[in-house]
Amino acid sequence: MVSVNLGLVHYVLDHIYGTVLHRTKLGTPFFSKGWGGTRLVLLERMVKQLFPEAPSQNWPPTAVQPIWKTVWETKNSSLREGVFRTTCDERLIDALPPESHNARVAFLTPKSVSPEKMACVVHLAGTGDHSFERRLRLGAPLLKDNIATMVLESPYYGQRRPSMQHGSKLQCVSDLLLLGKATIDEARSLLYWLQSEAGYGKMGICGLSMGGVHAAMVGSLHPTPIATLPFLAPHSAVVPFCEGLYRHATAWDALMEDAAALAQDATSLTEDAAQKSGITIEQVKDRLRSVLSLTDVTRFPVPKKPQAVIFVGATDDGYIPRHSVMQLQKAWPGSEVRWVTGGHVSSFLLHNDSFRKAIVDGLDRL
């Protein structure tokens, strides 16, 4: 009888999925248009401003007043979709593509319970999550626990995706920071609206993968205790792009050529620009690592109630190694790490019940 190491199977499946999706070069890679020029400089400066403690965290955030329309309703629940102008700083709005200027949310609520007796969790998007559907499926069973679900569509995704962007592959490094900063600002504004306008008693923030990184940041910066629930999330974007499978989906040649052009103060590129400038691929990788270190969650303040922070990692994740998840827990003493059996891709599909249990438990600790 042959014994199968299921952990190894899940790990290999992640790599097979990554090979098909990233190494085959069938699609446009990440950062095919380079670093992002002056936008990257702006983003580096603004992201650094998130780290210090209040008052520089700018609370309360810009208020939102979504324009709602009802998608459907039953006797016990309703689903509404809302639109509001992004709450970013005007300098960031100018840097965002026009398609991303208006934020979109879906709001799934029970009808028989008043908000002050309920909880609501804001769900943030992972890489490739262009619609509301998957996160609504995650949140729908929580209605029975009197937990509402608000799903935010990220900039550069879904109806907010730029016309020149194909799929989920962002065109510039600056786009990744723009996406993150806008998501954080919008999520903070939504949490403020839920508390001050809608009157919800308990609140939480969650997300899978990239959405988990953003959720951790939002939970860190919130001035009062909320449940913070990052699922399958690394401690930093350095992990997937510089160490994990996304490194095979990154346009290193484009980044090297763009860096060479900047070094030469040139307006056009030649094939041997990188060679003439003396810029090496290792220097480019170091530069990307430095930029993406701005997303390191361990540099953010410990949330107001770390006992309501629950990280969920996968035991055999080909994208996010265990040590990255453990760095999060180490940085936030009092938080909890839970493990689900599987890889990154399989856990998205098989462990929704574990994610829901973490949401319920995190809210119960408030």
Give the three-state DSSP class for 72: strand
Question: pLDDT at position 117, please?
Answer: 92
CATH code at position 185: 3.40.50.1820
Side chain identity at 191, as an amino acid letter? L
Alpha helices in 96-172 (DSSP H): 133-139
Question: pLDDT at position 43, please?
Answer: 85
Give pLDDT < 50 ranges for the chain: 1-4, 8-12, 14-20, 52-56, 266-270
Instruction: Round to whole Å and give the CA distance between 1 and 17.
Output: 28
| Sign of the C-alpha dihedral computed for residues 246, 250, 255 and 257 taken in this order | positive
Tens digits of residue pLDDT in 219-234: 999 999 999 999 999 9
Question: pLDDT at position 116, please?
Answer: 92
Question: pLDDT at position 364, please?
Answer: 98
Question: pLDDT at position 309, please?
Answer: 98
**Is 192 a domain residue?**
yes
Question: pLDDT at position 10, please?
Answer: 47
Instruction: Round to whole Å and give the CA distance between 80 and 69.
Output: 6
**Is 157 a domain residue?**
yes
> How far from the centroid of its chain's Cα atoms is residue 338's Cα?
19
**Is 221 a domain residue?**
yes
**Is 269 a domain residue?**
no
**Is 270 a domain residue?**
no
Question: pLDDT at position 23, please?
Answer: 52
Parent domain of 89:
6-51+60-264+278-364
The number of folded domains in the chain is 1
Tens digits of residue pLDDT in 149-181: 999 999 999 999 999 998 888 999 999 999 999
**Is 271 a domain residue?**
no
Within 134-281, strands assigned E span: 147-153, 202-208, 227-231
Q: Residues near 329 by Cβ (< 8 Å), separated by ≥ 6?
A: 311, 335, 336, 337
145 φ/ψ angles, rounded to the nearest 5 degrees = -95, 15
